[in-house]
Amino acid sequence: MSPEQFLKFAARQLLLAQEVHCCYEAGPFGYSLHRRLLEMGIQNVVVRPQNWAEASKPTKLMPWHWCNGWIAT
């Protein structure tokens, strides 16, 4: 799906809902899509790409028990 096709899809969602929320993975192409979504009235969050191989290694900075209460069951 091209960015323009996605924006058309997002515009249709605005007609169907009171609020539309999405996230945009930051990448090498800048934040133009993020800015366009905000201009349309869509609540958008930019997220950082993650190296999943590194993320699966537990560290002292992120003990898994901190997630108690935050994980949907």
The per-residue pLDDT string of the chain (73 residues; one tens digit each, 9 = 90 and over) reads 888 898 999 999 999 999 999 988 877 767 888 899 999 999 998 887 777 676 666 655 555 444 544 444 3
* Calpha distance 40→11 (Å, rounded): 8
Tell me the whole-structure pTM to 2 decimals: 0.61
Pairing of strands 43-47, 21-25: parallel
Per the CB < 8 A criterion, the answer to whether 22 and 37 are in contact is: yes
Q: Element (H or E) spanning 45, and its range?
A: strand 43-47
Instruction: Give the pLDDT of residue 16.
Output: 95
Q: Identify residue 41 by its one-letter amino acid code.
A: G
